[in-house]
Amino acid sequence: MTQAAPSIPHVVGVFDPATHTISYVAADPVTGAAAIIDPVLDFDPAAARTSTVSVDRLLAIVAERGWRLERVLETHAHADHLTGADVIRVRTGVPIGIGERIKQVQKTFGDLFEARDVTPDAGVFDETYADGDRFRLGELEVEVLHTPGHTPACVSYRIGDALFVGDTLFMPDYGTARCDFPGGDARTLYRSIQRLLALPDETRVFVGHDYLPKGREVFAWETTVGAQKAGNIHIGGGRSEDDFVAMREARDATLSPPQLILSALQINIRAGALPPAEPSGRRFLKTPLNAL
């Protein structure tokens, strides 16, 4: 078997059917250094019970292939699923990284949930990245691209020829992410996407979710910059900024909040850690009334 070139990471996607989220393991083919991107903490809202089936699967992929986990990377504070990042950190000792604008999101939702343990100086995340930051994953270079619009803190990670875009872009036949969360903005998203579309056409693009559009029966999560540029139904074919903003804002006005948004955000601003225990030892999620 021909060994993969150092600039082409191994990528394994794991689809979570409950939230339509794809988590990834990206690994350097030379050294085996690996990162897990956007892990899911399984959550049954009816029973208010968490489990680690998805995390277990990701860690098993790393172990089975003999890779060495070095980081957990978050593209943003997700509103549609709970993150498994803290579970992985506790089990393995690896740091959790996220874009530095997470502090803005923590302020917004920390205030909403009166989460007094979440402050700009609390050190919830081990590493926060500015636009253009670079670090090593074995012999691969990871480049951080600030791609706000869906949220103000969204980042994409470029690892070799692979681009992990979180919720910024979906598969070409599904389009783009909503922009109606606090701090989101359709015009900002358009400009972030244009930055991604300026990368080489052959760049592999790994999306954060897939929802089957009409006419497709198989979930998918890998595409290319060229395919997005040519055929993304929301922004491909050279669509103008004003047309995109009008479409995106009209579409967002019809959308309901994600089912898990109130549960997810109070966990995710804590990097996946559960809220502090009450004197009884129990931990509680809060539901602020009339907040959305």
CA dist 228 to 16, 196, 198, Å? 23, 10, 11
* Residue partners of 257: CB distance under 8 A and separation at least 6: 79, 292
Burial of 49: CB neighbours in 10 Å, binned 0-12, 13-18, 19+: exposed
Q: What is the pLDDT of residue 7?
A: 87
Task: Find the farthest-apart pair of alpha carbons in the chain and give their distance in angstroms, rounded.
Answer: 58
Helix (H, G, I), strand (E, B) or coil at 53: helix
What value does the mean pLDDT take over residues 272-292? 93
Chain segment 171-220, per-residue pLDDT in tens: 999 999 999 999 999 999 999 999 999 999 999 999 999 999 999 999 99
Q: Band of the pLDDT at 123, cuts 50, 70, 90?
A: confident
What value does the mean pLDDT take over residues 45-70? 97
Strand partners, 72: 36, 96
Q: Band of the pLDDT at 70, cuts 50, 70, 90?
A: very high
Q: Is the pLDDT of residue 273 over 90?
A: yes
Q: Band of the pLDDT at 120, cuts 50, 70, 90?
A: low
DSSP 201-268: TT-EEE-SB----TT--S---EEEHHHHHHH-TTTTTT--HHHHHHHHHHHHTTPPPPTTHHHHHHHH
Can you read off the two tokens belonging to residue 64?
């089975």
Chain segment 156-167, per-residue pLDDT in tens: 999 999 999 999
Which percentage of the chain shows pLDDT scores above 90? 93
Chain segment 221-253, per-residue pLDDT in tens: 999 999 999 999 999 999 999 999 999 999 999
Which percentage of the chain shows pLDDT scores above 70? 97
**10-258 CATH choice from 3.40.50.2300, 3.60.15.10, 3.30.390.50, 3.30.300.20:** 3.60.15.10
Locate the domains of the chain by residue range: 10-258
